[in-house]
Amino acid sequence: MAQQTLVLKLDATAGRALRTALDRAGWEMRSAPYAHFAARTSGATVTHYESGKLVVQAVDPAAIVRAHIGEHVLAAGGVDALRAGSGAAAAKRDDVDLAGSDECGKGDYLGPLVVACVFVPAGDGPKLRAGGIGDSKTLSDDTIRKLAGALRTRYPHAVEVLDPPAYNAAHAKTPNVNRVLAALHAKAIRALVASTSAERAAASKEKLRVLVDQFADASLMQRELAGLEIALEQRPRGEEEAAVAAASIIARDEFLARMDALSEECGVDLHKGAGRPADDSALRYVELHGFDKLSRVAKVHFKNTAKLSARLDR
């Protein structure tokens, strides 16, 4: 069953009592940015933030609240379903303007790293889902190209790309993929915010909500976006929201276009992914252009490079 998320307000005294109760029940206690504590057990997590927000993620988060805090907390109000497998969460998030950010190419040996950020105004989520907008990983390349064209025409968006030479330079300087990715997400988000800020300022006094499909510790994106006046949220499976799904489609469309152009330029049909087809096309590239030119088309820190070198030595 899909997990659901409940968010509610909990004061410091109740939070300390909850931590004690979870600790006694055998939950694993962990630290988290801007949180009093985080606790985890099989299939469930609980995080109590310094702001007083309590986030409970589980198949039945309400049952955890009842067991460890009490029925009165649920009855008192302040509970907000942010994400639910039933789709109730998406309906609520559709009521606000939302910018979604997602990437493509992180796990592909060949080709660029791409991030797209898309602004979807309140009320458009259901229309997008009805029109086939969903997680790009579930869609064919042809479908991606068709949907991306419509999205690019209708919705404000920003796309940032690190082609292989730029990606390799960034990774050499900061040898951590998530940091490289966080910087690219931040660049796309800042560009999108800058392009929509004047229009939104006239229509709304609220900070723009920005949702990032979470790929690392939340503090990484928080640091990259420090000083930007937005309401940032990060969580796995962010593509359940229409704005992130739209971003994933535009990012993949850009990735596909760049791969096609790169293939045409080098005379080799470069393959997606990091499996044998990608290895074989990298080998054909090296046989044509030389191993020293590999960084023009590949993310050279991948283990595929060592495998390729071994194949050439045989």
Answer whether 229's CB lies under 8 Å from 207's CB.
Answer: yes
How many whole angstroms separate alpha carbon 85 and alpha carbon 87?
5
Superfamily of domain 4-86: TATA-Binding Protein (3.30.310.10)
Answer whether 249's CB lies under 8 Å from 241's CB.
Answer: no
Give residue 170's identity as a one-letter amino acid code: A
Answer whether 64's CB lies under 8 Å from 25's CB.
Answer: no
pLDDT higher for 308 or 33? 308
Considering the chain, what percentage of its residues have pLDDT values greater than 90?
A: 53
Model pLDDT, residue 9? 79
Reported as a single tens digit per residue, the pLDDT across 52-80 is 788 888 877 877 877 777 644 444 443 33
How many whole angstroms separate alpha carbon 168 and alpha carbon 177?
10
CATH 3.30.310.10-classified regions of the chain: 4-86
How many whole angstroms separate alpha carbon 102 and alpha carbon 122?
19
- Judged by average pLDDT, the poorest of 81-95, 177-191, 266-280 is 81-95
CATH 3.30.420.10-classified regions of the chain: 94-258
Instruction: Give me the CATH topology for the region 94-258.
Output: Nucleotidyltransferase; domain 5 (3.30.420)
Model pLDDT, residue 168? 98
Task: List Cβ neighbours of 290 (8 Å cut-off, separation of 6 or more).
Answer: none
26 CB neighbour count, 10 Å cutoff = 8
Model pLDDT, residue 153? 95
Tokens at 64, concatenated: 């955890």
How many whole angstroms separate alpha carbon 9 and alpha carbon 6?
10
Reported as a single tens digit per residue, the pLDDT across 78-132 is 333 333 333 334 334 677 899 999 999 999 999 999 999 999 998 898 889 888 8
Model pLDDT, residue 74? 46
How many whole angstroms separate alpha carbon 161 and alpha carbon 181?
10
pLDDT higher for 196 or 287? 287
Average confidence (pLDDT) over 226-242? 89
Task: List Cβ neighbours of 152 (8 Å cut-off, separation of 6 or more).
Answer: 250
Answer whether 40's CB lies under 8 Å from 27's CB.
Answer: yes
H-type alpha helices, 7-154: 12-24, 61-68, 71-75, 88-93, 125-130, 141-154
Reported as a single tens digit per residue, the pLDDT across 136-169 is 888 889 999 999 999 999 999 999 999 999 999 9
Beta bridge partners of 233: 211
pLDDT at 184 > cutoff 90:
yes
